[in-house]
Amino acid sequence: MAPNTLPTLSIAVVGTGSPVNLGPVTGQSIRVWQMVITGTVNDTVTVVWTVANVQTSMKINVLANSTVVFPMTGTPWATADTGTAISITAASTTTITSYYTKGIGG
């Protein structure tokens, strides 16, 4: 990531038990650069994305009354192919704040 390019978009998602999508955006890819996950009960958050037509998932265990931080490292935690979404599934007691960018191409 270029030094002067920081994620300009953020979304706070309260889990529903069903997938919530970032995107998809026609002609653009999505990259998640940082996540802050806060839960009030034990929960497993699932993040799913597709790169090069291969679906990948990441499961994050969140303990009750705690916060898990995926810090900004300069490398995205999740990247979606152009026109596909990044899906997040969590319990209704969990809030996920994702900092992401959208861009042309992959």
CA distances from 79 to 3, 17, 92, 101 (A): 19, 22, 25, 10
Expressed in angstroms, the distance from the first to the final Cα of the chain is: 14
Q: What is the pLDDT of residues 39-69, one digit of tens each?
A: 889 999 999 999 998 999 999 999 999 999 9
pTM for the full predicted model: 0.82
Q: Over pLDDT 90: what percentage of the chain?
A: 39
Average pLDDT, the chain: 84
| pLDDT of 101 above 80 | yes
Task: Look at domain 9-104 and name its CATH class.
Answer: mainly beta
Alpha-carbon gap, residue 82 to 84, rounded angstroms: 6
For residue 72, the number of C-alpha atoms closer than 13 Å in the C-beta half-sphere is 12
From the CB of residue 50, how many other CB atoms can be counted at a distance below 10 Å?
18
